[in-house]
């Protein structure tokens, strides 16, 4: 499996996100892609990439057949698209989860459910877990569950596009009924759900911000016609 560096992961995740959330402004120009990569919302960590770094990442992603320029001759500006579907044949839910993991790093199922809502609506937390399990069972696996950190109640999941994650150990598939660990996990479910609802609100705000940014770019292009 190809291994992506941090910038390649950010570029690929940004292309996937904009394809789903702002299809009217996709594929993306280099300038729009740089702005998408450097967003302060829905990104962890926040980056400050320049055009050179993003262009280099696009070149290597093209070599890996995960992204590249569009073949359309309609636009005077070169635009770029991801090719994840051709490479992996993901379901919509799998695409949404991979996208958010690429953009925000390790997350709990509740966080993933909330943050993927504008790309794909998971009706239940179990739907998130079953989709993550399919990604884990891929050959090679594309997702891994991390061991719970001290003081936390929920396991986090991480993508493996950047290689295996050095972790103290993978969390067990589930605690035994009646154990102290089971009680903690049950109590933590409500916390995880609350985190998902907060993430959902964050995403709604982010969608509005992205639409405004797209309108600004469209208006700027319109103005240039009269210069």
pLDDT at res. 71: 80
Q: How many CB atoms lie under 10 A from the CB of residue 44?
A: 10
pLDDT at res. 172: 37
Note whether 87 and 67 are within 8 A (CB).
Answer: no
Distance (Å, whole) CA 227 – CA 217: 16
- Quick one: which of 6, 101, 2 has its CA closest to 57? 6
Span 142-188, pLDDT tens digits: 999 999 888 888 899 999 999 998 764 333 333 333 333 333 443 44
Span 99-157, pLDDT tens digits: 999 999 999 999 999 999 999 999 999 999 999 999 999 999 999 999 988 888 889 99
Q: Who contacts 133 (Cβ-Cβ below 8 Å, separation ≥6)? A: none
Residue 84: its H or E element: helix 84-88
Q: Greater confidence, 75 or 58?
A: 58
| Mean pLDDT value across the chain | 84
CATH architecture of 104-202: Orthogonal Bundle (1.10)
pLDDT at res. 216: 72
192 pLDDT above the threshold of 80: no
pLDDT at res. 112: 98
């Amino acid at each position: 499996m190809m291994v992506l560096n941090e910038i390649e992961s950010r570029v690929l995740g940004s292309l996937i996100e904009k394809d789903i959330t702002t299809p009217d402004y996709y594929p993306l120009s280099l300038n729009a892609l740089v702005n998408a990569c450097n967003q302060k919302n829905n990104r962890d960590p926040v980056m400050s990439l320049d055009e050179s770094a993003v262009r280099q990442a696009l070149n290597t992603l093209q070599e890996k057949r995960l992204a590249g320029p569009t073949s359309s001759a309609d636009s005077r500006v070169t635009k770029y698209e991801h090719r994840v579907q051709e490479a992996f044949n993901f379901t919509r839910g799998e695409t949404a989860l991979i996208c958010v993991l690429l953009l925000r790093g390790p997350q709990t199922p509740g966080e993933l459910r909330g943050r993927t809502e504008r790309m794909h609506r998971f009706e239940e937390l179990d739907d998130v877990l079953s989709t993550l399990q399919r990604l884990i069972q891929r050959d090679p696996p594309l997702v891994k569950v991390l061991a719970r950190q001290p003081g936390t109640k929920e396991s986090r999941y991480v993508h493996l596009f950047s290689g295996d994650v050095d972790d103290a150990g993978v969390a067990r598939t589930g605690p035994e009924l009646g154990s102290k660990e089971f009680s903690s996990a049950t109590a933590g479910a409500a916390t995880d759900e609350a985190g998902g609802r907060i993430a959902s609100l964050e995403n709604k705000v982010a969608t509005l911000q992205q639409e405004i940014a797209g309108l600004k770019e469209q208006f700027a292009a319109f103005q240039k016609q009269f210069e």
